[in-house]
Amino acid sequence: MKKVTVKVPAKINLTLDILGAREGYHEIESLAASIDLVDAVAVSPIKSGFTLKEHGIKADCPVEKNNAVRAARAFFAHCGGKAALGGENYCGAEIEIEKNIPLGGGLGGSSADAAGVILALCRIFGKDMPFADKVAADVGSDVNYMLRGGYAVMRGRGERVEKINAKTVLYLVVLLSDVPVDTGRCYALCDEMNVKPVDGTAQAVKYLCEGHVEKLKGALFNAMTAAAQTLNGEVREHLAAVEAVGGKAMMSGSGGTVYGVFGGESERDIAFEKLKKLYGEKVLKANTLP
């Protein structure tokens, strides 16, 4: 039985613009970046059925609704119900995840696991990336991005991905929340608040590609921040805490994870030590992965 392990990093949103709503979904434009916080996803094909073992952070949802299992089901569905290997047919998978990415905080944790399963199964059964993209599109809006990671602009519901070939490394602190923000409620509140498009992602991409970190910090934004702060007071507190130690304070996704961008590694490390005294294990160091 062949087993493949794939490591998939978390993501942050450096920009997040809401362009409007269409057919029940919100259209976005977002400059996303991978960070060096990763889940390791191990997959083995089996004749039938799906099993899931998780180590570290546990997903608080039934196995059948877990994105990793949904991804495996979608993979075999795209194969016509079964996939051949060594003269044998398989239509199930054993999945084991070493989970380090918090769920429900805007870091793409469940999407990372789905992407890991798809990539592992594609390697096992010899499927190409266009095939992986088709499977990912059926699982979740940002799973297509998580297949490749790095810097990229996500559009539509997040499924249209444009790779950005920037080499700039950003030094971050990440401040985790005990209370994730419900994405649906956050979008609904953005609608009530009549949030308008910022149209600032292209400018942020320009500064990123040029390596102008200070200018980039000034161009970062998340159009969901005001709504998220209304729904979760901890987001407001964490943004203020990051600003107080000199970082460009940002929220990832719909929250509640907050992160800070710093001008260099030493500046970030000093800020990390200050925040650690206040928040302990809730604060992490991270770097972007171009």
Identify which of 93, 243, 87 has the alpha carbon closest to the alpha carbon of residue 175: 243
Which residues have a Cβ under 8 Å from the Cβ of 187 and sit 6 or more positions away?
18, 26, 224, 227, 254
Sequence-ordered alpha helix ranges (H) in 142-289:
143-148, 183-192, 201-210, 213-219, 225-231, 233-244, 265-279
Catalytic residue among 11, 99, 217, 248: 11
In whole angstroms, what is the distance from residue 237 CA to residue 157 CA? Answer: 29
215 in catalytic set: no
Q: Is 149 left (phi over 0), alpha (psi -120 to 50) or beta?
A: left
36 tagged catalytic: no
The pair of three-digit structure tokens given for residue 225, joined into one six-digit string: 């921040």
Asked if residues 95 and 42 have their Cβ atoms less than 8 Å apart, the reply is: yes
Q: What are the Cα distances from residue 237, in Å, to 164, 186, 201?
A: 32, 18, 26
Of the candidates 99, 113, 142, 217, the residue annotated as catalytic is: 142
What residues act catalytically?
A: 11, 142
